């Protein structure tokens, strides 16, 4: 029995190794085709790997580059976003994404500004630090400072309190953006609908490459939010979830 189990595990390991080697070979072929400027062939090779469910920064980054060359800009934006999820500090990916968004006259989201300028861990640390500084300053104001100088300290503590609230608010917002909210990229110009049905009333027009929040899913439709509480439904095939 032990021998059969050993043979079984060896066969499984060999099969996984063969699959991994085949995927590496296809990826290398795709990269070579891209370098040779055969973008159509590179696209189909990369796309095949993506459709198989492979997840890697290099795959998403190179696939997005290929989509850019073929002017599939919405798909390129979506996969640059996917690549950044796997490796948030890659400056080349961020630069390519900013370039594409400017090319398509799309504004950058505030979540990217906070993520790049400060970072999640630093934002949380600053929030905690500002809160404790406010508590200490307020305590010192009422316990140790004389009444004549108390106004200056109290005014300083109010400013520090406003700063602490501001940092906490943005920490919560940043956490939701990075860990809770789901987003998608519009891959064709379309309208939102009041209900998940093509016969329902159209509401807002959406643009190719626009990044929107996904709220819910129902029978092949996605409920989305485009900001300022403007919500509606779109067919899922018109979006690329990231």
Residues 130 and 174 reside in one and the same domain: yes
pLDDT in tens, 62-77: 999 999 999 999 899 9
Residues 187 and 176 reside in one and the same domain: no
Domain for residue 48, yes or no?
Answer: no
Domain for residue 51, yes or no?
Answer: no
Residues 202 and 176 reside in one and the same domain: no
pLDDT in tens, 89-112: 788 888 898 888 888 877 655 445
Please answer whether residues 192 and 207 qualify as being in contact, where contact means their C-beta atoms are separated by less than 8 angstroms. no
Can you give the residue range of the structural domain that contains 131?
116-180
Residues 126 and 93 reside in one and the same domain: no
Domain for residue 31, yes or no?
Answer: no
Residues 176 and 187 reside in one and the same domain: no
Quote the number of domains for the chain. Answer: 3
Residues 160 and 199 reside in one and the same domain: no
End-to-end CA gap in the chain: 46
pLDDT in tens, 189-241: 788 898 888 888 888 888 888 888 888 888 889 888 877 778 889 888 888 88
Q: Which of 141, 162, 180 is the last residue of a domain?
A: 180
Domain for residue 234, yes or no?
Answer: yes
Which domain CATH number covers 207? 2.30.30.40
Domain for residue 82, yes or no?
Answer: yes
Q: Which of 108, 124, 150 is the last residue of a domain?
A: 108
Domain for residue 192, yes or no?
Answer: yes
Residues 169 and 124 reside in one and the same domain: yes
Q: What is the pLDDT of residue 234?
A: 87
What is this structure's pTM?
Answer: 0.61
């Amino acid at each position: 029995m032990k021998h059969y189990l050993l043979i079984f595990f060896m066969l499984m390991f060999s099969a996984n190794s063969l699959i991994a080697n085949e995927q590496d070979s296809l990826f290398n072929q795709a990269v070579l085709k891209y370098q040779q400027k055969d973008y159509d062939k590179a696209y189909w090779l990369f796309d095949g790997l993506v459709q198989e469910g492979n997840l890697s920064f290099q795959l998403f980054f190179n696939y997005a580059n290929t989509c850019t060359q073929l002017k599939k800009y919405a798909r390129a934006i979506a996969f640059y976003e996917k690549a950044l999820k796997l490796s948030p500090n890659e400056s080349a990916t961020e630069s390519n994404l900013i370039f594409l968004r400017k090319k398509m006259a799309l504004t950058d989201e505030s979540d990217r500004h906070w993520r790049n300028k400060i970072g999640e861990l630093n934002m949380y640390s600053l929030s905690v630090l500002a809160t404790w500084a406010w508590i200490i300053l307020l305590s010192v104001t009422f316990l140790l400072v004389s009444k004549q100088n108390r106004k200056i300290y109290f005014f300083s503590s109010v400013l520090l309190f406003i700063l602490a609230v501001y940092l906490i608010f943005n920490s919560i917002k940043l956490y939701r953006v990075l860990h809770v909210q789901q987003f998608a990229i519009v891959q064709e110009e379309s309208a939102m609908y009041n209900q998940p049905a093509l016969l329902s009333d159209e509401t807002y027009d959406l643009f190719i490459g626009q990044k929107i929040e996904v709220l819910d899913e129902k029978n092949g439709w996605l409920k989305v939010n485009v900001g300022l509480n403007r919500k509606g439904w779109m067919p899922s095939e018109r979006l690329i979830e990231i």
